[in-house]
Amino acid sequence: MGNIFGNLLKSLIGKKEMRILMVGLDAAGKTTILYKLKLGEIVTTIPTIGFNVETVEYKNISFTVWDVGGQDKIRPLWRHYFQNTQGLIFVVDSNDRERVNEAREELMRMLAEDELRDAVLLVFANKQDLPNAMNAAEITDKLGLHSLRHRNWYIQATCATSGDGLYEGLDWLANQLKNKKGAVCQAEAGSETESPVRTLQVETLVEPPEPCAEPATFGDTLHIHYSGSLVDGRIFDTSLTRDPLVIELGQKQVIPGLEQSLLDMCVGEKRRVIIPSHLAYGKRGFPPSIPVMKPRGNGKNRG
C-alpha cells in the first residue's frame, strides 16, 4: 500500500515542494489519513492539539502534508497555515450528521480567505464503512459544494482505515496541481498560445420558468442540449444533430467541467459556461477541435 501511495505522489509534481493543508472538524479522521499516506498502515491517534506534518521525499521532490487539529478552540489557528498552500484537503466525518452544518460553516469561512483563493479543494467524505454514513452526494449538498463556481473542487468517498477512496482522491489532486504548474511554466516560457482560463466560469442566461424545487445534484439524470464555439471559431449546436444528451451526474460520463457546471441547474434554465482545459481534455487536448491549454465555452439548456 505504501508503494502505491509512493508512486502516486511521485507523479504529483515536477521538481519542487508542494504544500498540502489537511483540515476538518475534530475526529474526522485527518491524522489516520495522514499516517496511512506516510506509513501505509493504521496508527493509534489522539486528538491533535497543534499539528502533525509529514514530508515524503522522492528524489528532489518534497510532498508536504500538514494535518491541523480540528477542535473548536484551535480552529482560529488554521489561518496561520494558509500561506503558500496549493492544495486543500477537507475531511468530513460522514457519520456525524449533527455537525455537518458546522463543517460547512468552517469550510466556507476558510475558503473566503484571500490566501486560499488559488488553492484547489479535495473533500474526503470519510468513514464510509459506518452503516449510517452519508454518501458523497449527501455530503455535497450539506456542504454546499455546488455553490463553489469559481474554485476547482472534487469530493471522494473514503475509508481511512482501509484506504478505500484515498487513491482516487489523491489522483485528482495530483492532476490539478500538475496542471497548475504546467500553466505557470507555459506562461513563463512566453508561449504564443493565449492565456488559459484557470477556473470554471458559469453564468445563468435564462432563469427557469418557475421556482426551482429540485436543483440538479449527484445521482440525478439530466437531458441537455448544448451549443457554443470552439477556440478555432467553429460553431456547434447539438439540438440540430441529435437527441438530448442524457447524463447521470456523479458517474463521470462527461468531462469534469461539464458535470460541475450542471450542478444546481434547474429545468428550463440556460447557462453560459467556459471550461478551462484542465477540466476538459487536459494537457493532451482534443485535436483539432480543442487545442492543449485552451478554454472551451458553451451554453446549455436543461430540459
Environment class of 100 (CB within 10 Å of its CB; exposed 0-12, middle 13-18, buried 19+): buried
Task: Report the distance separating Cα 149 and Cα 260, nearest Å.
Answer: 8
147 by DSSP, 3-state: which?
helix
Q: Is 15 annotated as a binding residue?
A: no
How many residues make up the chain in this entry? Answer: 303
> How buried is residue 116: exposed, middle or buried, by Cβ count under 10 Å (0-12/13-18/19+)?
buried
| Angstrom distance (rounded) from CA 54 to CA 294 | 36
Is 173 among the annotated ligand-binding positions? no
CATH class of residue range 2-188: alpha beta
Class (C level, CATH) for 201-302: alpha beta
Give the residue extent of every domain in the chain.
2-188, 201-302
CA 85: distance to chain centroid?
Answer: 15
Q: Does 156 show up as a binding residue in the annotation? A: no
The terminus-to-terminus CA distance of the chain in angstroms comes to 45
30 is in an annotated binding site: yes
Q: Which residues are catalytic?
A: 71
Alpha carbon dihedral 73, 75, 81, 87, in 10-degree steps, equals: 150
Per-residue pLDDT tens listing for the chain (303 residues)? 455 455 554 454 444 566 788 889 998 998 888 888 777 767 666 455 556 667 644 334 354 656 677 677 777 787 888 888 888 999 999 999 999 999 999 999 999 999 999 899 999 999 999 999 999 999 999 999 988 988 889 999 999 999 898 877 777 776 776 666 554 444 444 433 343 455 667 777 788 877 777 788 878 888 887 777 665 566 667 776 667 778 887 777 777 777 777 877 888 888 877 777 666 655 444 443 344 333 344 444 555
Q: Which residues pair with 268 in a beta bridge?
A: none
DSSP 150-161: TS-EEEEE-BTT
